[in-house]
């Protein structure tokens, strides 16, 4: 519940669109598996940017956050969710990540930072609720580090 | 050993249908030892290690973890070309299948099978990888742990097991990359009562080591060893904690031996600093008690003699601090008494260690210690530089 409140508090800066955004976040929370479009939407919403899922997905594609061949409705893995988040927050602190800027080492750095559990499986497909926890962890841990 | 690797690889390939997380570690260390004040005859130990790991989560509560390593070790002595050994060591450090059962009342049952690191509550008697089965049941008011294993398939080059007389069994064949360790059946059972009173945790542990057969052989007169430990730990006041234990050993299930340990640790709010005081007593020969001997070889101090915890009394102080985020520094000093004919002053040790972690996956360590012994031949000064990269 705390996680939802944090996201909603961030969304409140979106002003008039708040109610619509809150509904969208509630809908995502109920998802059994998070999609790439939802992941892109959440990462934008956490910054207070009001967009649609499609707009967020297109923006994420342009920024290189979405692996080639993945569509908006495909279910995202934790490793690729980490990659999406790294385009929103500044994830740093790994030599291997500097050398090979890819989802694998982004996930491992975010694990070291405490965003993910130590035993988290990079290929697990998170639910909407789990993704919300991860986004909230990103806000907590990378606060002030938004790109 | 081939069988172990075959099983490991078979499991790894079987796991192909599941997601596999994997990684590796590249490490190197250089160690100089100057014994007996002979600073022109340093002993060098150079090691490079490459290890790979993989983790296969079958579901949220079931996983297979494997770690294997190859290590090059060079031992040399300056000024003496005859004492130069190059060794390659292969090892399977971890092969663990684990499953967790969660109950409605939040109690947990954890099962693990395979090769895993196991340690007793003092970490001075039994602390090594071992092949076996562990069961742990955790409830809100108590915790039970049981373990049964076998040491005979371990690589003796990475694990030193003591005989009941306190000697390392035999020197490994330097030409083999894997040589089997002393075969024992190892069992452990512990019960813990967390926060029993005033946030104090009480635990009791029993261990039994039985000579067994295996690829390598034990001497005929090798004895069964039994240990029982009582431990109490918890806070004395905010930020001040203690850890006290008493172990009775029964080598050959006859005459008692004793190991006692007390640690006091204070955690400061400044720079994550901590300071700890510790005292250890391990009975020796000539006492009313018999000499205490553990199972895994663990040295009590860094003298040239490298004595185990047997006939040893040691008082020490250690302080550590994180002055800046990627740097950890610790320093300590100890006074060691050793039982010869009677317990007498053996030496004084000071050490300092620094760990610099500029990146989460890169670590550089530097350690230095000096042991000033009553008998100059036991003096030792040691400097170690190491580095590791996780990938």
| Secondary structure of chain B as H, E, C letters | CHHHHHHHHHHHHHHHHCCCEEEEEEEEEEEEEEECCCCCCCEEEEEEEEEEEEEEEEECCEEEEEEEEEEEEEEEECCEEEEEEEEEEEEEEEEEEEEEEECCCCCEEEEEEEEEEEECCCCCCCEEEEEEEEEEEECCCCEEEEEEEECCCCECCCCCEECCCCCECCCCCCCCCCCECCCEEEEEEEEEEEEEECCEEEEEEEEEEEECCCCCCCCCCCCCEEEEEEEEEEEEECCEEEEEEEEEEEECCCCCEEEEEEEEEEECCHHHCEEEEEEEEECCCCCCCCCCCCCECCECCCCCCCCECCCEEEEEEEEEEEEECCEEEEEEEEEEEEECCCEEEEEEEEEEEEEEEEECCEEEEEEEEEEEECCHHHCEEEEEEEEEEEC
Cβ proximity of B367 and B359 under 8 Å: no
Q: Which residues pair with B66 in a beta bridge?
A: B54, B95
- Nearest CB to B360: which of A109, A122, A123? A109
pLDDT in tens, B91-106: 999 999 999 999 988 8
Cβ proximity of B275 and B318 under 8 Å: yes
Q: Do A109 and B63 touch (CB under 8 A)?
A: no
Closest CA to A138 of A50, A27, A10: A10
Res. B351: pLDDT tops 70: yes
B390 in contact with chain A, both atoms CB, cutoff 8 A: yes
Res. B280: pLDDT tops 80: yes
Summarize the confidence of residues A44-54 as an average pLDDT. 85
Cβ proximity of B343 and B292 under 8 Å: no
pTM above the 0.95 mark? no
Residues 329-368 of B with CB under 8 A from A: 358-362
Q: How far apart are the first and last CA of chain A?
A: 27
ipTM of the complex, rounded to two decimals: 0.82
Task: Give B134's contacts (C-beta < 8 A, 6+ positions apart).
Answer: B110, B111, B112, B113, B116, B118, B145, B146, B147
d(CA A134, CA A6): 12
- Residue A46 has a pLDDT of 83
Summarize the confidence of residues B307-331 as an average pLDDT. 96
Chain A residues contacting B via beta carbons under 8 Å: 93-96, 98, 108-109, 112-113, 119, 121-124
- Residue A14 has a pLDDT of 45
Q: How far apart are the first and last CA of chain B?
A: 27
Q: Do B390 and A124 touch (CB under 8 A)?
A: no
Q: Do B391 and A96 touch (CB under 8 A)?
A: yes
pLDDT in tens, A10-40: 555 444 445 567 788 888 888 999 999 999 9
d(CA B349, CA B280): 15
- Nearest CB to A123: which of B19, B63, B358? B19
Residue B351's alpha-carbon distances to B332, B363, B368, in angstroms, are 5, 20, 6
Alpha-carbon distance B275 to nearest alpha carbon in chain A (angstroms): 26
d(CA B362, CA B152): 34
Minimal Cα distance from A93: which residue of B?
Answer: B359
pLDDT in tens, B202-253: 999 999 999 999 898 887 778 899 999 999 999 999 999 999 999 999 876 6
% of chain B surpassing 70 pLDDT: 93
Summarize the confidence of residues B274-297 as an average pLDDT. 92
Task: Give B325's contacts (C-beta < 8 A, 6+ positions apart).
Answer: none
pLDDT, averaged across chain B: 91
Task: Give B214's contacts (C-beta < 8 A, 6+ positions apart).
Answer: B150, B152, B153, B180, B183
B89 in contact with chain A, both atoms CB, cutoff 8 A: no
Fill in the DSSP letter of residue A77. P
Q: Which residues of chain B lie closer than 8 angstroms to A106, CB-CB?
A: none
d(CA A18, CA A14): 6
Q: Do B361 and A121 touch (CB under 8 A)?
A: no
Alpha-carbon distance B268 to nearest alpha carbon in chain A (angstroms): 23
Summarize the confidence of residues B155-170 as an average pLDDT. 87
Q: Which residues of chain A lie closer than 8 angstroms to B57, CB-CB?
A: 119, 121, 124
Alpha-carbon distance B63 to nearest alpha carbon in chain A (angstroms): 10
Residue A32's alpha-carbon distances to A29, A66, A75, B244, in angstroms, are 8, 20, 10, 49
- A·B CB contacts under 8 A: 35
Q: Is B245 exposed, middle or buried (0-12, 13-18, 19+ CB in 10 A)?
A: buried
Q: Do A119 and B63 touch (CB under 8 A)?
A: yes
Q: Do B19 and A112 touch (CB under 8 A)?
A: no
Q: Which residues of chain B lie closer than 8 angstroms to A96, CB-CB?
A: 361, 389-391
Alpha-carbon distance A51 to nearest alpha carbon in chain B (angstroms): 33
């Amino acid at each position: 519940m705390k996680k939802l409140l944090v996201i909603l508090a961030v969304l409140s800066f979106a002003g008039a669109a708040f109610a619509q955004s809150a509904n969208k976040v509630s809908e995502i929370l109920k998802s059994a598996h998070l999609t790439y479009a939802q992941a892109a939407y959440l990462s934008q919403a956490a910054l207070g940017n009001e967009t649609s899922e499609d707009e967020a997905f297109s923006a994420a594609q342009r920024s290189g956050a979405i692996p080639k061949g993945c569509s908006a409705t495909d279910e995202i893995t934790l490793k690729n969710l980490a990659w999406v988040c790294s385009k929103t927050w500044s994830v740093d602190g790994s030599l291997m990540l500097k050398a090979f800027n890819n989802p694998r080492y982004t996930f491992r750095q975010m694990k070291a930072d405490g965003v993910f559990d130590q035993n988290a499986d990079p290929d697990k497909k998170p639910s909407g609720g789990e993704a919300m926890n991860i986004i909230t962890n990103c806000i907590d841990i990378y606060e002030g580090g938004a790109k | 050993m081939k069988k172990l690797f075959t099983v490991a690889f078979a499991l790894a390939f079987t796991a192909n249908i599941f997601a596999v997380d994997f990684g590796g570690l590249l490490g190197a260390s250089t160690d100089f030892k100057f014994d007996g004040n002979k600073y022109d005859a340093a002993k060098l130990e150079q090691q490079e290690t490459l290890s790979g790991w993989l983790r296969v989560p079958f579901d949220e509560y079931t996983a297979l973890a494997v770690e294997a390593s190859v290590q090059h070790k060079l031992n040399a002595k300056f000024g003496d070309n005859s004492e130069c050994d190059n060794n390659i060591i292969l090892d399977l450090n971890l092969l663990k299948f684990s499953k967790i059962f969660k109950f409605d009342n939040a109690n947990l049952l954890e099962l693990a099978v395979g090769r895993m690191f196991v340690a007793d509550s003092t970490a001075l008697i039994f602390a090594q990888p071992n092949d076996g089965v562990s069961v742990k049941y955790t409830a809100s008011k108590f915790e039970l742990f049981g373990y049964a294993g076998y040491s005979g398939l371990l690589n003796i080059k990475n694990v030193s097991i003591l005989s009941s007389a306190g000697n390392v069994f035999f020197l490994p064949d330097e030409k083999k990359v894997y040589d089997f360790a002393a075969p024992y059946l190892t069992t452990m059972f512990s019960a813990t009562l967390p926060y029993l009173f005033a946030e104090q945790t009480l635990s009791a542990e029993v261990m039994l080591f039985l000579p067994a057969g295996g690829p390598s052989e034990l001497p005929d007169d090798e004895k069964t060893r039994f240990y029982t430990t009582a431990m109490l730990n918890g806070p004395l006041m905010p930020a001040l904690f203690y850890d006290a234990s008493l172990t009775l050993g029964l080598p050959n299930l006859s005459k008692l031996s004793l190991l006692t340990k007390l640690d006091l640790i204070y955690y400061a709010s400044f720079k994550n600093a901590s300071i700890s005081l510790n005292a250890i007593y391990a009975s020796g020969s000539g006492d009313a008690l018999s000499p205490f001997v553990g199972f895994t070889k663990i040295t009590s101090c860094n003298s040239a003699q490298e004595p185990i915890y047997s006939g040893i009394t040691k008082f020490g102080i250690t302080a550590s601090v994180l002055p800046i985020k990627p740097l950890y520094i610790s320093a300590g000093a100890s006074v060691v008494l050793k039982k010869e004919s009677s317990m007498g002053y053996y030496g004084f040790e000071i050490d300092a260690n620094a760990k610099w972690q500029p990146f989460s996956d890169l670590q550089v360590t530097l350690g230095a210690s000096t042991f000033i012994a009553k008998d100059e031949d036991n003096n030792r000064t040691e400097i170690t530089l190491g580095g590791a990269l996780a990938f």
